Amino acid sequence: MSSARTEVDRSSGDKETAFWSAQEDGPEKTSYAVATAQQEAARQKDMEFRQKFGDAGPLGLSGFAFATFLTALVNLNVHGVTIPNIVIGPALAYGGLAQLLSGMWDIANGNTVSATIACSYGCFWISFAISMIPSFNVRDAYPSLADYNHANGLFLMGFFIFSVAITLCSMKSNVFSLTLCLLVNCTWLFLGVANLWTEESGAPSNVLLKCGGVTGLLVSFTAWYLMYEGLANRQNSTRGKALATSRIVLRSASFFRMELSNKAAYLVSPNSPLIEVKPTPVPQPGPNELLIRAEAVAINPVDAVKQSMGNMMFEWLTYPLILGYDIAGQVAKAGADVTQFKEGDRVVGLAAGMDKRGRRPDEGAFQELVVIREHLAIKIPTGIKSADASVLPLTVVTAACALFQKDQLALRMPQIKAHQKPTGETVLIWGAGTSVGKNAVQLAVAAGYDVIATASPKNWDHVRGLGASVVFDYRSPSVIDDILTSLKDKKCAGAVAIGQGSLAKCVDIIKMNPSATKNVAQVTLDMPASPPTSKLSMVPFVAKYLWLSSTNRLKVMSSGVRSKFVFGTDIMEWDVEGKIALYLSEALELGEYDLPSEIRVIGSGLESISEALHEVRNETSRKKIVVVLE
């Protein structure tokens, strides 16, 4: 596999270092691999089972909130109410029975932790109500009011201990869920100590009782809010329809779901050949983010280059770090405001952990549970394996940025075939045999543009099959004249330069075509053949790079052509990423989009990442290297 690697140093101001690879002479057209019947049957059976049961979380939360609300009002002596008997009914029927039923449903759904918590609190409220019913003689069994309250304090302190244990399990949960747990702790502690530390009359401490009442109100409103968010969706809520399911928490009962664990493949130190697999905290998705259970990750040359170059590349990253951009898997959790995906959806997406704007290390791809942003993910259609889909993210966003970003070619957005309209303009894709090039050809054609491309002769049929009208051999000495002849009497919307030496040739073509828009999107920078692996080898590397870079820059400046380097992760900051994701989802589902690379699977599990990086670094395969994690 021959590759053209590119690097740019943005060492001053807010600039960054980026390294990209464009694969020339790529493989033939990728076929859609059909998932095995056994896997598909198991997945469908699981989904059918889950659909038999609703989400019990809102029911349990609402019962807990209402019983807590009434108890808090009594503890605060609102309107002079001091006798708690009004709580008996809700404690039995709502706070008790509703939560107990909620826990039973969670057992049916296979959520052991949620069932334990909901059933425990349901039984608490039933026990609390029983202690206040005269016929059970709980109060009369004690010789004095103080003795009864002391015993009641021990009862409450027992649940304080239980609540603390639950809080410790949820320390990595989202902020609202953790807040609820902490408020419950405070409430039990205040009320327990209030009953143990009685007044002279034997009544609970009035100050501590009121403190428990205040925190109890906060608990009830927090629980109600979580309940609301579990119900406010586009199917059954007016507000949910208006706000497209505005969620501030994962799901109403998600803080009960603590079973997740995570492992990651860490690059432990700069220039280290070793990848260490070890347990790591479970990431929590923020607003508009997804937590993905990885099923496959693709290895890009940038991953191997970072491993070799250490701190000379992406200097903002700290060690140990998690590499990786391309990931495919299932949604384990959906963060607040997520509207396009739900738990269980199969998606492929771009992990932005190595980008300066990323949430490192949560967004590093080489781990079992990865956070990705909603607009950087698309659904995987049935019939495409996760391993095959994993090759898509980095190459497609790079192509999309080159074609559609406002400060690049700024072309019209792509559409599925039923809605495509020709623009009457032509785009030049130099390096169409690369993974980025194959994506660029398909996206440009879908946007209504005629495509003239270059590739090795062995890839001509494949590139034409992707939609290019004419394909030229990029090695031909007459290639520039041939392309200019083909562009005669055509309006050229610009060029995408992929591969070593491509920028200078594209600039010459665009400059000499009088009707061309003077824009060239530069995907590949001309670089020395091999990246440096030590500080000593960095000196000649930088010297040669600066010479090549300055030569190209002078050529661009003197030509009147505008050219800017393409950073694929810039897609995080522009305003049309949703349209790209929507098009790709529809096109893949309809079979109108081909995956850009065939794959070669290197082992299963994170332990295979080290071998996969070695394969990419030594360029032993023309296929995209993938590690499966299923």
pLDDT in tens, 409-424: 999 999 999 999 999 9
Contacts of 527 (CB under 8 A, 6+ apart): 4, 5, 6, 7, 500, 545, 548
pLDDT band at 627 (very low <50, low <70, confident <90, very high): very high
pLDDT band at 232 (very low <50, low <70, confident <90, very high): low
pLDDT band at 426 (very low <50, low <70, confident <90, very high): very high
Collapsing DSSP to helix, strand or coil, 317 comes out as coil
Residue 10, pLDDT score: 35
In this structure, of 4-8, 57-61, 434-438, 625-629, the range with the lowest mean pLDDT score is: 4-8
Statement to judge: residues 168 and 102 lie in one domain:
yes
| Average pLDDT of every residue of the chain | 81
> 507 lies in a domain?
yes
Statement to judge: residues 217 and 161 lie in one domain:
yes
Global pTM?
Answer: 0.60
Compute the distance between CA of residue 605 and CA of residue 296 in angstroms, rounded to an integer: 9
Statement to judge: residues 369 and 423 lie in one domain:
no
Residue 357, pLDDT score: 77
> 93 lies in a domain?
yes
The alpha carbon dihedral of 260, 261, 267, 268 has a sign of positive
Statement to judge: residues 73 and 221 lie in one domain:
yes
167-196 average pLDDT score? 82
Burial class (CB in 10 A: 0-12, 13-18, 19+), 83: exposed
Of 236-245, 283-292, 612-621, give the range with the top mean pLDDT.
283-292
From the list 93, 106, 100, 99, the residue with the least C-alpha distance to 54 is: 106
In the 8-state DSSP scheme, what is residue 19? Answer: E
> 527 lies in a domain?
yes
Residue 571, pLDDT score: 78
Statement to judge: residues 456 and 312 lie in one domain:
no
Statement to judge: residues 360 and 438 lie in one domain:
no
> 9 lies in a domain?
no
* pLDDT for 2 beyond 60: no
> 236 lies in a domain?
no
CATH number of the domain bearing residue 328 = 3.90.180.10
pLDDT per position as a tens digit, 535-585: 666 667 667 767 777 777 787 787 888 988 888 778 777 766 678 888 999
Largest CA distance in the chain: 107
Q: Could you write out the three-class secondary structure of 159-217?
A: HHHHHHHHHHHCCCCCHHHHHHHHHHHHHHHHHHHHHHCECCCCCECHHHHHHHHHHHH
In this structure, of 114-118, 175-179, 600-604, the range with the lowest mean pLDDT score is: 175-179
The DSSP string of 452-502 is EEEE-GGGHHHHHHTT-SEEEETT-TTHHHHHHHHHTTSEEEEEEE-STTH
Amino acid at 225: Y
Statement to judge: residues 279 and 133 lie in one domain:
no
Question: Which domain range does residue 200 map to?
Answer: 49-231
Residue 253, pLDDT score: 41
The C-alpha angle 404, 506, 477, rounded to 5 degrees, equals 145
Collapsing DSSP to helix, strand or coil, 568 comes out as helix
pLDDT per position as a tens digit, 247-292: 433 433 444 444 578 999 999 888 777 789 999 999 999 999 999 9
Report residue 410 as tokens: 């700024």
Statement to judge: residues 569 and 535 lie in one domain:
yes
312-330 average pLDDT score? 87
The alpha carbon dihedral of 355, 357, 362, 368 has a sign of negative
Token match 């738990």: residue? Answer: 343
What does DSSP say about strands 326-334 and 346-350: parallel, antiparallel, or unpaired? Answer: antiparallel
The C-alpha angle 96, 99, 100, rounded to 5 degrees, equals 80
Statement to judge: residues 457 and 586 lie in one domain:
yes
In this structure, of 49-53, 269-273, 280-284, 389-393, the range with the lowest mean pLDDT score is: 49-53
The DSSP string of 246-308 is --SSS-TTGGG------EEEEE-STT---EEEEE-PPP---TTEEEEEEEEEEPPHHHHHHHH
Compute the distance between CA of residue 75 and CA of residue 205 in angstroms, rounded to an integer: 11
What is the tally of structural domains in the chain?
A: 3
> 157 lies in a domain?
yes
What does DSSP say about strands 450-455 and 470-473: parallel, antiparallel, or unpaired? Answer: parallel
pLDDT band at 447 (very low <50, low <70, confident <90, very high): very high
Cα separations (Å) of 401 from 19, 272, 448, 514?
Answer: 15, 32, 17, 25
* pLDDT for 25 beyond 50: no
354-380 average pLDDT score? 88
| Residue 331 CA from chain centroid, whole number | 9
The alpha carbon dihedral of 615, 621, 622, 628 has a sign of negative
pLDDT per position as a tens digit, 152-178: 899 999 989 998 988 887 665 556 777
Compute the distance between CA of residue 364 and CA of residue 26 in angstroms, rounded to an integer: 26
In the 8-state DSSP scheme, what is residue 507? Answer: H
Task: Name the CA radius of gyration of the chain, rounded.
Answer: 30
pLDDT per position as a tens digit, 468-523: 999 999 999 999 999 999 999 899 999 999 988 899 999 999 999 888 888 999 89
In the sheet where 263-267 sits, what is the strand order?
A: 275-279, 263-267, 321-322
Contacts of 199 (CB under 8 A, 6+ apart): 205, 206
pLDDT band at 448 (very low <50, low <70, confident <90, very high): very high
pLDDT per position as a tens digit, 131-146: 888 888 888 888 998 9
Residue 257, pLDDT score: 44
Report residue 442 as tokens: 């398909």
Statement to judge: residues 351 and 459 lie in one domain:
no
Residue 231, pLDDT score: 74
Collapsing DSSP to helix, strand or coil, 22 comes out as strand
* pLDDT for 3 beyond 60: no
From the list 515, 498, 508, 513, the residue with the least C-alpha distance to 558 is: 508
- Domain stop point among 210, 231, 252: 231
The alpha carbon dihedral of 33, 38, 42, 45 has a sign of positive
> 572 lies in a domain?
yes
Cα separations (Å) of 566 from 61, 353, 397, 431, 484?
Answer: 49, 18, 10, 15, 24
Contacts of 245 (CB under 8 A, 6+ apart): 232, 233, 234, 337, 338, 339
Residue 34, pLDDT score: 36
Statement to judge: residues 318 and 453 lie in one domain:
no
Alpha helices in 77-111 (DSSP H): 88-90, 97-108
Query: Is the model more confident about 397 or about 525?
Result: 397
Tell me if 295 sits within 8 A of 628, measured CB to CB.
Answer: yes
| Beta-bridge partner residues of 425 | 491
304-315 average pLDDT score? 76
* pLDDT for 244 beyond 70: no
User: How many C-beta atoms lie closer than 10 Å to residue 89's C-beta?
Assistant: 13
CATH number of the domain bearing residue 499 = 3.40.50.720
Residue 114, pLDDT score: 78
Amino acid at 83: I
Residue 569, pLDDT score: 79
In this structure, of 46-60, 210-224, 588-602, 603-617, the range with the lowest mean pLDDT score is: 46-60
330-357 average pLDDT score? 90
> 72 lies in a domain?
yes
Collapsing DSSP to helix, strand or coil, 334 comes out as strand
* pLDDT for 12 beyond 90: no
Statement to judge: residues 275 and 340 lie in one domain:
yes
